Chains A and B, each alone.
Chain A
């Protein structure tokens, strides 16, 4: 089981609370770091602006990325993650409300590792979070550590 922190890029506080709750219910012990918008996420990962400590920080096990975000939106964040050699191999899972075809299409084109639609039904959300953790933190073999994230 990969015990590195999970980076949750999400601007809605309710969704943050519910996502954390869903992880807890699945006994996923990883620390959940929250970035409240795209710029915060990029700063955390690549270190610039207010957050310059990124270089020394442990890279997240997975990045859960919402699409509708203030400042930089989710797809722009994804594009920057893939463009930087330090984060290009990161596992980025789009976790969002919509299943608009163009979001899914663009998401994968820009290199999303997975696309998961947040269900409204919390029971389904808990199930989804459990499977997500099981696969991406357990079953899935992460890239070698020489890459930052």
Chain B
């Protein structure tokens, strides 16, 4: 648009130069100048340099500045500027550079309406008098669009701020909730367990075998709930807090977890293979939770096979690094594989294999927070393989 403005004005300058050629040519030139001037889609204006008054304007100009074309001649140019300083700046540029191109300025119509415009001005001689040929490009709509974009951006920023504040409020509440769960929910369980035990010990003589068995069930229930609370808290923790990535040797991590498992289940003989030097950039604490969950699952579900084998390693699958924990244990029905990772979803009854059904939900959440995926393959009685990827960026 700005280019168009400049070339229009240059065309006019050429036409005006022609005026000097001859009288006949002059008349012809004047005619074509008038025609071009009138029909230009750009608002054009001719001003007298001597007194800075309007001389001639085309239809576009009349409609842009809302001037009656018959009363235009002689109006001072200054009345159409919102700021006189802008006009002075334009004149200064004109003096220094001989012409003005795309001068960004706010004008006003004869009724005072603001008009944003780009002005180009070239000096010419018209009927022997020094004049300025001025092209005005209306950019009011663009300015409004820009203002609208700015306003929307600001609004968006405010909305993001509000949402962030809301989110951190909810996070704080969630945190104090799990803090309180962590402290207060376990205390009554200790009372239940402790006094059940006290009953068995102190009233041994008056309690029969059935009563003692009931009490041991009460205690088992309290202890199971305590583990459930721990697992739930671990699930909640895996979702909050920052991800602090560092270089982690998953092979060492797995070996540590396995050592814990061996000391916890000293009578289990599990043949464990760990792939060497599996270095990756992850959050060490959260990754420890993942490995612990997957390996202890493998330990648990190989509890009933004659020669339990567990393998942890890394392989490349379709150009992607995939980690896996494989066991030859109880396995699962692939039909229910989508239920594996839901909280409280269990595929084995708790008499067969104890568990809260929260471990794999926690694993999934941690893997997802690392930008990876987790999935499983297996069949009943033939073991299971858990795969996961890690975006180690």
What is A's interface to B at a CB cutoff of 8 Å? 12, 14-15, 17-18, 21, 67-68, 96-100, 118-123, 125
Contacts and interface: CB of A to CB of B under 8 A. Distances in A.
A17 B195 CA distance: 9
Contacts of A118: 186, 190
Contacts of B189: 120
A98 B190 CA distance: 12
24 contacts: A12-B187, A14-B191, A15-B187, A18-B190, A18-B191, A18-B194, A21-B194, A96-B183, A97-B184, A97-B186, A98-B179, A98-B183, A98-B186, A120-B189, A120-B190, A120-B223, A120-B226, A121-B193, A122-B190, A122-B193, A122-B194, A122-B219, A123-B197, A125-B194
Contacts of B179: 98, 100
B251 interface: no
Given A14-B190, A18-B190, A120 B222 contact: yes
A127 B193 CA distance: 15
B14 interface: no
Interface string B158-190: 000000000000000000000100111011011
Which among A18, A97, A100, A120 has the greatest number of chain B C-beta atoms within 10 A? A120
A125 B187 CA distance: 13
A64 to B, nearest CB: 15
B183 A67 contact: yes
Given A18-B191, A21-B198, A120 B186 contact: yes
A100 B182 CA distance: 7
A122 B197 contact: yes
A95 B183 CA distance: 12
A14 B191 CA distance: 6
Contacts of A18: 190-191, 194-195
Contacts of A121: 193, 219, 223, 226
Contacts of B222: 120
A67 B194 CA distance: 20
Contacts of A14: 187, 190-191, 194-195
A122 B201 CA distance: 12
A122 B110 CA distance: 92
Given A96-B183, A97-B182, A99-B182, 19 more contacts: A12-B187, A17-B194, A18-B194, A67-B183, A68-B183, A68-B184, A97-B183, A100-B179, A100-B182, A100-B183, A118-B186, A120-B190, A120-B193, A120-B223, A121-B193, A121-B219, A121-B223, A121-B226, A122-B193
B291 to A, nearest CB: 19
A36 to B, nearest CB: 15
Contacts of A120: 186, 189-190, 193, 222-223, 226
Contacts of A15: 187, 190-191
B194 A98 contact: no
A27 B197 CA distance: 18
A14 B222 CA distance: 15
Of all A-B residue pairs in the complex, the 6 with the closest CB atoms, nearest first, are: A120-B226, A14-B191, A98-B182, A18-B194, A122-B194, A122-B197
